Chain A
Amino acid sequence: MAISKLILLGVGGRGGTYAKHSRRYGAEIAAAVDVNREKLEKFGREYGVPGERLYTSWEECLAVEKFADAVINATPDRIHYRSTMAALEKGYHVLLEKPMAQTEAQCREMVEKAEEKGLLLMVCHVLRYAGFFEKLKELYDAGAIGQLIHLELTEHESFWHHAHSYVRGVFRREGESNPWILSKSCHDLDLIAYITGKRCLSVVSEGGLDYFCEKNAPEKGPARCLEGCPREQECLYFAPRVYLSQFDHVGWPATHICSDTSYNARLEALQTGPYGRCVFRCDNDVVDHQSAVFQLEGGATAAFNAVGLSSENTRVIRLFGSRGELYGSLTENRLTLTHFGSGEREVFDTGDPDNDSFHGGGDYSLTKDFLDAVRWENRNVKTSARLSLQSHLMGFAAEKSRKEGVRVEIETE
């Protein structure tokens, strides 16, 4: 079997992750695209991509005669649709970062195009591959809790993570990326649909942008933390503390504010770039908390609560069934099953100590699943685009309900 050749669109955080796992699984990065030439060249050197296969525009790369097997699409959300359509047109299989696109129509079109062309379009619902959720699904499907009555899922996003990505960072504006429930919680909606195996019929939702807005800015506070802020001592979001306190080992999110991660480069980024801004004076418009309640077919409900001001980054899930209850926290990597009647409890440890991959080990397994499908022409992957579409419809409907205050029906396939 030939070594699979991949084109990587977008060499940022997520792109880099998929590249790393692809290489580990024996694939070759044949070309890479990024608007940032500096980042692109650094990536090219690391992965041995020939100079002529480094592109600063995806249009240019996909205009060339087909020269690889598949595209990994880790571009910004607003470019997903056009670049994926172009890649499918050229005959590439596509691994597409979530969320799929910015509108329901775009999501549907991509799925139809892939089906028409007989190509694989797989969306990166990496959490399906995490040991924690795999075990949860296995127990659920085996009937451990009987008939599902209610599912409760809370996505905890830490205050610093939210401020980085959704207040100062690239996902802060709905128009440039997506509503928060899609850009952040698309995984969660997918898990609700995937684990229960039930179609979602309708949703009601509430939420808002209530904290990271101008009304909470310190009086006489400057637009940037480095311009002399009266609250720099006590503010949780004082940029130098968040991004400049690491020296030898610079970890995420400090690595994210500029491609050169030296202290001086980071300092300059805070003086001029988006991450140095006061979190209360940004141009963010996505919500900082949202709740959504879904009606599932057959009468069960799923209550989803996402909060961008938590002390931790985790997901906590509880499934209530007619014969028992399943509870777990993703960061603890542990599931507890309680049987009704006997009251007996079983505890499952789902952590894989050998797996250092992010998202509970899901990143690697998803990449492997995609590459297997490309190599062996297997279309039976865990996350086909048709399946992913459902979770995106849930997200678009939730957003509509939040804005309009009505129960929104979800159009089924």
Chain B
Amino acid sequence: MKPIKLLILGAGGRGDVYARHAGALGAVVEGVVDVNPQRLKQFGDLYGVPEEHRYLTWEEALSGEKFADAVVNSTPDRIHYPSTMAALDKGYHVLLEKPMAPLESECREMVKKAEEKGLLLMVCHVLRYAPFFEKLKELHDGGTLGELVNFELTEHVAYWHFAHAYVRGIFRNEEGSSPLILAKSCHDLDIIAYITGRKALSAVAEGNLMHFVSANAPEGAPDHCLDGCPVETTCPYFAPRLYLKQIDRVYWPSTNVSVDTSYPARYHALEKGPFGRCVYRCDNNQPDHLTTVFQLEGGATACFNLIGLSSQNTRILRLYGTKGDVKGDLDAGILEFTEFLTGKTTKIDTNDPSNQSSHGGGDARLTKDFLDALEAIAAGKVPQVRTSARLSLQSHLMGFATERSRKEGGRIAIPLDD
């Protein structure tokens, strides 16, 4: 069997994760695209990408003859739609990073195009593959909970993580990426739809940008932390503390401030670049907290909270059924199921110590699922994937309705995806 050939669009963090897992499973990276020449070379050399298939623009990569089996699309959100449409037009199967696209119409068009062309379009809802959610799905589907009444889910984004990605970083601005509910919580909406197996009929939402605004800037604080800030010893967001403390081994998010992760390069990036800015003086407009309540078909509700000022990065949930309830914390990897009839509580540990992959081990298994599907297609079989684009569309519709409700006020009906 010939190895599967991939074209990676976007050699950043996520692109690297998929390339690494695909490589470990025997696939080859046949082409790569990135706007940053330095990153392009680093990535190309690491994965042995032929020189002729290293591109600075996705248009160029997708304008020539088809030279791979599938595209892994980890471009910025705003480029998802045009690049995915072009890839599908060329006959590539596509693994698309979430969120699918910033507009509802774009999401629908991509799904239609893939179906028309008979191509696989799979969205990276990696959490579906995390053992924690696999176990939860099993509990829900096994009927031990009875009928679902309410699904409570809170996504905790640690204050430093939120400031990094959604205040200083590339997702800070709705216009530059997608609304926060899609950029950050697309996974969570998908988990609600996937676990319950129910369509969301409507959404009501509230939330806004409250903390990371200029009104909260400390008196006398400069635009960049390194310009001499009067509160540098007490501010949790003081950039040098967040990005310059690691010397020998540099971790995310410090690795994210400059391509060269040496101390001088990072220091320089903080002097002038976006990650060195005062969190209260950025051009961010994403809400820092948001709540949405969905009516699900069959009468149940789902209540989702997103908080950008938590002490931890995790997801905490509780499902209330007619025969029992289950609560869980993704970071801890623990689910606790209580059966009403007996009052008995069962603790389920979903941690797999052998698996070091992020997203609860989901990244590796999602990549495998995609490659398996490509092999099935090559063998003339119908592929079995957990996250078809048609299924993913539902969670994106939930996100668009949430955003509209938050801005306009009141209940927004979610159109059926016909």
CA distance A218 to B412 in the complex (A): 35
Given A149, A311, A324, A407, which contacts B343 in the complex, CB threshold below 8 Å?
Answer: A311
Are the C-beta atoms of B305 and A303 separated by less than 8 Å? yes
In the complex where A206-B295, A211-B149, A310-B320 touch, is A322 in contact with B410 (Cβ < 8 A)?
no
Are the C-beta atoms of A204 and B309 separated by less than 8 Å? no
Task: Identify the closest chain A residue to B233 (Cβ).
Answer: A341
The B-contacting residues of A in range 288-308, CB under 8 angstroms, are 288-289, 291, 293-295, 298-301, 303, 305, 307
CA distance A147 to B405 in the complex (A): 25
Are the C-beta atoms of B325 and A309 separated by less than 8 Å? yes
In the complex where A307-B150, A309-B322, A320-B289 touch, is A207 in contact with B301 (Cβ < 8 A)?
yes
Are the C-beta atoms of B205 and A204 separated by less than 8 Å? yes
Q: Which of B291, B299, B321, B341 has the most CB of A within 10 A?
A: B291
A406 located at the interface, meaning its Cβ lies under 8 Å from any Cβ of chain B in the complex: yes
CA distance A202 to B205 in the complex (A): 12
Query: Mask for A177-208, Cβ within 8 A of B = 1, else 0?
Result: 00000000000000000000000001011111
Query: Mask for B376-418, Cβ within 8 A of A = 1, else 0?
Result: 0000000000000000000000000000010001110000000
The A-contacting residues of B in range 179-202, CB under 8 angstroms, are 202
Residues on A with beta carbons closer than 8 Å to the beta carbon of B345: 311
Are the C-beta atoms of B309 and A320 separated by less than 8 Å? yes
Are the C-beta atoms of A288 and B303 separated by less than 8 Å? no
Are the C-beta atoms of A309 and B154 separated by less than 8 Å? no
On chain B, the number of residues with a Cβ less than 8 Å from chain A's Cβ atoms is 52
Are the C-beta atoms of B202 and A310 separated by less than 8 Å? no
CA distance A311 to B340 in the complex (A): 6
In the complex where A147-B211, A204-B411 touch, is A320 in contact with B293 (Cβ < 8 A)?
no
Residues on A with beta carbons closer than 8 Å to the beta carbon of B405: 204
Smallest beta-carbon distance B215→chain A, Å: 10
Residues on A with beta carbons closer than 8 Å to the beta carbon of B276: none
Smallest beta-carbon distance B185→chain A, Å: 14
A150 located at the interface, meaning its Cβ lies under 8 Å from any Cβ of chain B in the complex: yes
Are the C-beta atoms of A204 and B293 separated by less than 8 Å? yes
The B-contacting residues of A in range 143-166, CB under 8 angstroms, are 147, 149-150, 152, 154, 159
Residues on A with beta carbons closer than 8 Å to the beta carbon of B42: none
In the complex where A206-B204, A289-B301, A338-B311 touch, is A305 in contact with B150 (Cβ < 8 A)?
yes
Q: Which of A204, A216, A307 has the most CB of B within 10 A?
A: A204
CA distance A303 to B307 in the complex (A): 11
Given A309, A323, A338, A405, which contacts B410 in the complex, CB threshold below 8 Å?
Answer: A405
Q: Which of A207, A288, A303, A405 has the most CB of B within 10 A?
A: A303
A325 located at the interface, meaning its Cβ lies under 8 Å from any Cβ of chain B in the complex: yes
Task: Identify the closest chain A residue to B326 (Cβ).
Answer: A311
Query: Mask for B271-303, Cβ within 8 A of A = 1, else 0?
Result: 000000000000000001101011100111101
A321 located at the interface, meaning its Cβ lies under 8 Å from any Cβ of chain B in the complex: yes
Smallest beta-carbon distance B282→chain A, Å: 16
Are the C-beta atoms of B311 and A150 separated by less than 8 Å? no
Are the C-beta atoms of A311 and B210 separated by less than 8 Å? no
A340 located at the interface, meaning its Cβ lies under 8 Å from any Cβ of chain B in the complex: yes
- Grouping DSSP codes into helix (H, G, I), strand (E, B) and loop, the A interface class, with mixed when no group exceeds half, is strand
CA distance A309 to B300 in the complex (A): 12
Are the C-beta atoms of A293 and B205 separated by less than 8 Å? yes
Given B149, B152, B289, B410, which contacts A210 in the complex, CB threshold below 8 Å?
Answer: B149
Smallest beta-carbon distance B313→chain A, Å: 13
Are the C-beta atoms of A204 and B204 separated by less than 8 Å? yes
Query: Mask for B152-163, Cβ within 8 A of A = 1, else 0?
Result: 101000010000
Smallest beta-carbon distance B268→chain A, Å: 25
The B-contacting residues of A in range 381-413, CB under 8 angstroms, are 401, 405-407
A343 located at the interface, meaning its Cβ lies under 8 Å from any Cβ of chain B in the complex: yes
B216 located at the interface, meaning its Cβ lies under 8 Å from any Cβ of chain A in the complex: yes
A236 located at the interface, meaning its Cβ lies under 8 Å from any Cβ of chain B in the complex: yes
Are the C-beta atoms of A289 and B149 separated by less than 8 Å? yes
Task: Identify the closest chain A residue to B290 (Cβ).
Answer: A301
Are the C-beta atoms of B149 and A291 separated by less than 8 Å? no
Are the C-beta atoms of A159 and B150 separated by less than 8 Å? no
Query: Mask for B346-375, Cβ within 8 A of A = 1, else 0?
Result: 000000000000000000000000000000
Residues on B with beta carbons closer than 8 Å to the beta carbon of A324: 311
B38 located at the interface, meaning its Cβ lies under 8 Å from any Cβ of chain A in the complex: no
Are the C-beta atoms of B236 and A340 separated by less than 8 Å? yes
Are the C-beta atoms of A149 and B234 separated by less than 8 Å? no
Residues on B with beta carbons closer than 8 Å to the beta carbon of A340: 159, 236, 309, 311
Task: Identify the closest chain A residue to B158 (Cβ).
Answer: A340
Residues on B with beta carbons closer than 8 Å to the beta carbon of A341: 234-236
The B-contacting residues of A in range 215-241, CB under 8 angstroms, are 216, 234, 236
CA distance A321 to B154 in the complex (A): 16
A-B contact pairs, 14 of them (CB 8 A): A147-B210, A149-B211, A149-B309, A152-B307, A206-B293, A211-B149, A289-B150, A291-B150, A291-B293, A310-B325, A311-B338, A311-B340, A325-B310, A341-B236
Q: Which residues of B contact A (CB under 8 A)?
A: 147, 149-150, 152, 154, 159, 202, 204-208, 210-211, 216, 234-236, 288-289, 291, 293-295, 298-301, 303, 305, 307-311, 318, 320-325, 338-341, 343, 345, 405, 409-411
Q: Which residues of A contact B (CB under 8 A)?
A: 147, 149-150, 152, 154, 159, 202, 204-208, 210-211, 216, 234, 236, 288-289, 291, 293-295, 298-301, 303, 305, 307, 309-312, 318, 320-325, 338, 340-341, 343, 401, 405-407
